[in-house]
Amino acid sequence: MKKIYLTLIFIGIVCFSFSSGVQAQSDTPKRNARKVISNIENLQVYPNPTNGDKLYVTTESGHSMIVTIYNALGEKVLYKVLIGKELNISSLKAGVYIMKVKQRDFQSTLKLVVRS
């Protein structure tokens, strides 16, 4: 009888040691996940705060950018694929906005203040 218990315990230990089981969360990203690197190199947004209808967005690389602006409630208020550096913000009212700029695999988020 003792041999049967020892055999079953041994088989159970062997089975559990080869199974992947449940793993805790890891700090390393999955291999297949697309890596998004934040902070576009030398991103400049000026003038900020602004009083006018135009905002200038420049980067070192000069590639086209996707600019998305959200209001304080998180609603998208402006979406523009920017090829040059001039962004028309005449539709924005005075207030504080969150501006997300995406260029290739790089992304930056910053605060935009529009004054009346």
The mean per-residue pLDDT over the stretch 104-113 comes to 92
How high is the pLDDT of residue 31? 46
Query: Residue 56 sits in which domain range?
Result: 38-114
Specify the pTM: 0.66
Q: Model confidence over 19-61: pLDDT tens digits?
A: 555 555 555 544 444 444 558 888 999 999 999 899 999 998 8
Residue 15 — pLDDT band, cuts 50, 70, 90? low
Residue 22 lies in a domain: no
Is residue 5 domain-resident?
A: no
Give yes or no for a contact between 100 and 68, defined as CB atoms under 8 angstroms apart.
Answer: yes
CA atoms within 13 Å, Cβ hemisphere of 1: 0
- pLDDT tens digits along 75-84: 999 999 999 9
**Looking at the 3D structure of the chain, how many domains does it have?**
1
Within-domain flag for 54: yes
Spatial contact of 34 and 64, defined as CB atoms under 8 Å apart: no
Determine the pLDDT at residue 5.
72
Contact 69, 82 (CB under 8 A): no
Tell me what percent of the chain is helix, strand and coil, each rounded to the nearest 5: 15, 40, 45
| Res 71: pLDDT | 95
Query: What radius of gyration do the chain's Cα atoms show?
Result: 26
CATH of the domain at 87: 2.60.40.3080
